[in-house]
A = this chain, B = another copy of it.
């Protein structure tokens, strides 16, 4: 069955792979599921046709026959449940991998998003210089706990799973901050994720969209 996802016509990150469609592309590449991409403009994202797919007017969405899904976490979980390769077979290990997916999105990502908000949305505010260290310290609390859990292991809980796909994707947002380098085992963990052939294909695919849209703008 054809799988269609949506992605930014012009990603705000300029093709650095931080838009959330990269996470879904990565999951689809890991399981070997071909997919099509429909690009949406910022304007189209807020129009009724897209809002019917995604009530919060974001990307990515996922369509497969008469199933339509939104929310990256839910899409990756759906892909992981319906293909081999992204979740362990053992029921308990599977439940734990799902717990780590939620942890990536609900415990680790929120302070990281705060940093993006502080820098981008509030970058011109008089308080931002003084406030940034507080935001960064809240991220350090989570990174310290994650680093302590990971220790010398390659992945969060046994073999690579959708949990690692999500956690690595979340941590990648920190690359430009330098924070990741304060935790060498986390930096190595992220590098292991990026080294996976499926990640490389996903990254290249999102970059190609960006390169094409840059060209058309020139």
Contact = CB atoms under 8 A, between A and B. Distances in A.
Contact of A110 (B100, B101, B113, B130): B113
A55 interface: yes
Contact of A56 (B96, B98, B101, B142): B142
A207 interface: no
Copies in the complex: 2
Contacts of A100: 71
Q: Determine the main DSSP class of A at the interface with B.
A: helix
Nearest to A78: B95
Contacts of A57: 145
A21 interface: no
Interface of A: 51, 55-58, 66-75, 77-78, 92, 95-96, 98-103, 105-107, 109-110, 113-114, 117, 121-122, 125-127, 130-131, 134, 138, 142, 145-146, 148-149
